[in-house]
Chains A and B, each alone.
Chain A
Amino acid sequence: MSALISVKNLTRVFDVSKPWLNRVIERLPKAHLTAVSDVSFEVPEKSVYALVGESGSGKSTIGKMVVGLLRPSSGAVEVDGVDLANSHDTGAVARVRADIQMIFQDPFASLNPRWRVRSIIEEPVAVQGGDTQGLAERLLEQVGLAAIDADKYPHEFSGGQRQRICIARALASEPRIIVCDEPTSALDVSVQAQVLNLMSDLREEFGLTYLFISHDLTVVQHMADVIGVLYLGRLVEEAPRGELFSNPRHPYTQMLFAAAPRMDGFGREIEPPKGEIPDPINPPPGCAFHPRCPIAVERCRRERPEMRELGGARVACHLAE
């Protein structure tokens, strides 16, 4: 299978320095936060690739770079072979951009409260000057709402219904790729199931490719074909779903799985993981995970591990086997 999205050595650095005057007075150096550091992965067409990680892992930043809301500091995002940030062929970039849409986390903030649902859904097409006749009604019915809902305002809908409207908007321009940034983490469990099922159905119907961003392992396990695990802006492990969950190789992945609460974990006594996520402005040298890693050796403190093939997976760990 050829890769539809190809992310190559993607890096994003944010300048988090204090204002110039404060720096001069307090004699502070410029501060940089490396939110994403040298991340590479490929997403085949019509598959679901999930990025999981805790806060500060850089998963949302990667999502924003893939859709073009942020520019990479270095590295590239290629879709269909077109480098979105650096290509000079503006026609090709515009064509590829139109193929990418996004679903956001907060269904209350992602719809303009002053717009009717019809205008919201038709916007992507209207902006490009396309034909919007009957579009909103058709899409609303496709996502399980009623055609008459087109004339209502967002505040008349519940969280789950709003997320359906967001999905309808994302589908309006007939994209091939949808980046889903925590699409269900603001929803209740029973509503989450409805939305996830809808997303699965639509993927089959339209042959969509999802880049699925989540902190919730259970959701990822249900949705994804291939999963990339991020820690402090670095990809630490990537494996097909079955492989990852049956045989996690990176110590961080293992720790994450052990820590996740389980429905059958009645009175489970586990050794909770050590420590917390380090400050991303001053990440530990070498492997970023070494201060919390139960098997870290001297080399881990010195040398950042490269991604290497291991069985059916890729792992960034000196010691993983």
Chain B
Amino acid sequence: MSDEALTPPATAPSRLRSAWESDLIWSFRHAPVAMAATAVVLVLVLAAVFAPLIAPHNPFNPATLNLMNGFTPPMEPNAFTGEVFLMGTDDQGRDVFSTILYGMRISLFVGFAAVMLALVIGVTLGLLAGYLGGWTETIIMRVADVQLTFPAILVAMLIFGIAKGITPPEHRDQMAIWVLILAIGLSDWVQFARVVRGATMVEKSREYVQAARLIGRTPISIMLRHILPNVLNPVLVIATISLALAIIAEATLSFLGVGAPPTQPSLGTLIRIGQGFLFSGEWWILLFPAITLLALALSVNLLGDWLRDALNPRLR
């Protein structure tokens, strides 16, 4: 087997060094697209996390807003106050750059949380379906099939609508973010479940799982300790690509007006607000949030693509 001959010799100089020379890092160092995408993602995520420190204004504090600053174009002093804004201001005089930073926080938070929710549900159900088989599998996978026949955004809107209906009106704005996460997460678990089920069925038939059964491990313990670590590679890939999709889904929902409220605007809400001013000449209110969303979604997606290739042993 040339396979055996090609694996590294059984000497490990130091853990750091072997990690640096591991196949994943090696392929990363030789993929300029992945490195560029990582850089963009890192900059955007750090900017979002440290928004309160970076942002010149706090767009959520009405006390700092001055309506006189409304519709200031980028890099031009305001006619009344003389203030200069990097990306201009919107109709209420909010600094666009600052709203983008804060908006990204919400977009990223919703995206991460939704993917985590989808991942936990999907991986759990996938493991159960793949390992137990029989009726458990039939029920889980049929539900998944049915859900796949609807577009994810429709499912999310449906869940959003139901949740909105049952929450009291005075809490709606506070609840909106959590409902978004729930809606996107529940519409996205299917692909995790499918991939994990398939991988679990492969691992289940391997002899190390039989050995563990023989030893007297319980099915739960086998699933968690033996199978789960071996099916995580594809989960990681899907999670990354799902993150891009979840950010876009959140933006779509917010754009349609069913997502983040204007008091806590996400990138999608900003784009919705901005598109109202596009034809009246205030292009910057739309353009900068849109570019940010594009850069974020694209680079996360590129990162996911690279990860899929790098973790796929057949393509290496």
Residues of A close to B53: CB separation below 8 A = none
Chain A stretch 137-160: residues in CB contact (< 8 A) with chain B: 152, 155-159
Chain B's closest residue to A173 (CB) is: B215
Q: How far is the CA of A211 from the CA of B210 in the complex (A)?
A: 17
Residues of B close to A155: CB separation below 8 A = 7
Q: Is the CB of A69 within 8 A of B216?
A: no
Q: Is the CB of A112 within 8 A of B226?
A: yes
Q: How far is the CA of A69 from the CA of B216 in the complex (A)?
A: 10
Chain A's closest residue to B217 (CB) is: A127
Q: How far is the CA of A173 from the CA of B4 in the complex (A)?
A: 31
**Binary interface encoding of chain B residues 185-216 relative to chain A, with 1 for a CB under 8 A from any of its CBs, else 0:** 00000000000000000000011101111111
Q: Is the CB of A104 within 8 A of B216?
A: no
Interface residues on B, range: 10 to 19
Q: Is the CB of A111 within 8 A of B208?
A: yes
**Binary interface encoding of chain A residues 51-67 relative to chain B, with 1 for a CB under 8 A from any of its CBs, else 0:** 00000000000000001
Residues of A close to B226: CB separation below 8 A = 112
Interface contact tally, CB-CB below 8 A? 54
Cβ-based interface call for B64 (8 A):
no
Q: How far is the CA of A155 from the CA of B230 in the complex (A)?
A: 14
Residues of B close to A110: CB separation below 8 A = 206-208, 210-211
Chain A stretch 94-138: residues in CB contact (< 8 A) with chain B: 94, 97-98, 100-102, 104-106, 109-114, 123-124, 127-128
Chain B's closest residue to A123 (CB) is: B215
The interface centre, meaning the residue of B4, B10, B212, B217 with most chain A CB atoms within 10 A of its CB, is B10
Interface residues on A, range: 20 to 34
Chain A's closest residue to B226 (CB) is: A112
With A114-B230, A157-B10 given, is the CB distance from A124 to B215 under 8 Å? yes
The interface centre, meaning the residue of B4, B211, B212, B216 with most chain A CB atoms within 10 A of its CB, is B211
Chain A's closest residue to B10 (CB) is: A156
Q: Is the CB of A112 within 8 A of B230?
A: yes
Q: Is the CB of B216 within 8 A of A158?
A: no
Chain B's closest residue to A104 (CB) is: B207
Q: How far is the CA of A128 from the CA of B208 in the complex (A)?
A: 18
Q: How far is the CA of A166 from the CA of B217 in the complex (A)?
A: 17
Cβ-based interface call for B229 (8 A):
yes
Q: Is the CB of A128 within 8 A of B216?
A: yes
With A101-B214, A127-B216 given, is the CB distance from A158 to B4 under 8 Å? yes
Q: Is the CB of A67 within 8 A of B214?
A: yes
Report the minimum CB–CB distance from A187 to chain B (whole Å). 12
With A113-B230, A128-B216 given, is the CB distance from A152 to B10 under 8 Å? yes
Report the minimum CB–CB distance from B236 to chain A (whole Å). 14
Q: How far is the CA of A32 from the CA of B211 in the complex (A)?
A: 27
Report the minimum CB–CB distance from B199 to chain A (whole Å). 13
With A113-B230, A114-B229 given, is the CB distance from A169 to B211 under 8 Å? yes
* Interface, chain B (partner A; CB < 8 A): 4, 7, 10, 12, 206-208, 210-217, 221, 226, 229-230
13 of the cross-chain contacts (CB-CB < 8 Å) are A68-B214, A69-B213, A69-B214, A94-B216, A102-B214, A104-B211, A105-B207, A110-B211, A127-B216, A152-B10, A155-B7, A159-B4, A173-B215
8 additional contacts, CB 8 Å, given A109-B208, A112-B229, A152-B12?
A94-B216, A104-B210, A109-B207, A112-B230, A113-B230, A114-B229, A152-B10, A159-B4
